[in-house]
Chain A
């Protein structure tokens, strides 16, 4: 019988958790991985140059590059999502729903923590600008990544 082993039928863990794709088989998957690396490198270089040579130009460049990279990532991610077939698309959708639900709770929690710190404890107000956003992004990425991994093992 020309069958395939069920053991090898699951999506690879490394791709699911580290690369944000289901595998590295399709053109769309390879494209997203390559673009992710380029965008990550660009972001790293621009942010590091702003840290090493602090000036208005490097700061504005880092800001512009960050905005451009985030927008382009969203565009590439959308293209990748549309290239998925129905099962991975369903898993991806469920992951997004979970990330959104947890994200709302995490955002409320972070807002509460921020309020408590700002009103009752000595606190550096500068931290309040970006720390909650970074934490929220990390929480959302973890929730979505873990959900995709768990859901993909279910099928």
Chain B
């Protein structure tokens, strides 16, 4: 899973340690997410989205392009 966490963090002028403190996780967890070695749980992804005031989909996205949404059944 890819993400925009590093870019967002820089835009908000936060260090990894500061963001980790806000989210109540370790700095290593933030680093692992940023380097895309670890995919966070849904709860942590929601917390990250809430900290930056964005939706989860704006920060995290699937690696292989867009997934075509299902058409609504009539």
Contacts and interface: CB of A to CB of B under 8 A. Distances in A.
Query: Is the A/B pair a real complex?
Result: yes
Interface of A: 1-4, 6, 9-11, 22-23, 25, 85-88, 152, 154-155
23 contacts: A1-B10, A2-B9, A2-B10, A2-B13, A2-B14, A2-B15, A3-B6, A3-B9, A3-B16, A4-B15, A4-B27, A6-B31, A9-B28, A11-B28, A22-B26, A85-B24, A85-B26, A86-B40, A86-B41, A87-B26, A87-B28, A152-B28, A155-B28
B17 interface: yes
Contacts of B32: 87, 155
A109 B44 CA distance: 42
Nearest to B44: A86
Given A2-B10, A3-B10, A87 B16 contact: no
Those 9 A-B pairs whose CB atoms lie nearest each other, nearest first: A9-B31, A85-B25, A155-B32, A87-B29, A4-B16, A1-B10, A155-B37, A2-B15, A155-B38
Contacts of B26: 22-23, 25, 85, 87-88
Nearest to A152: B28
B35 interface: yes
Nearest to B37: A155
A4 B21 CA distance: 14
B24 to A, nearest CB: 7
Contacts of A2: 9-10, 13-15
Nearest to B32: A155
A86 B44 CA distance: 9
A85 B37 CA distance: 16
B10 A9 contact: no
A27 to B, nearest CB: 13
Given A11-B28, A85-B24, A3 B15 contact: yes
Contact of B35 (A1, A6, A85): A6
A11 B38 CA distance: 15
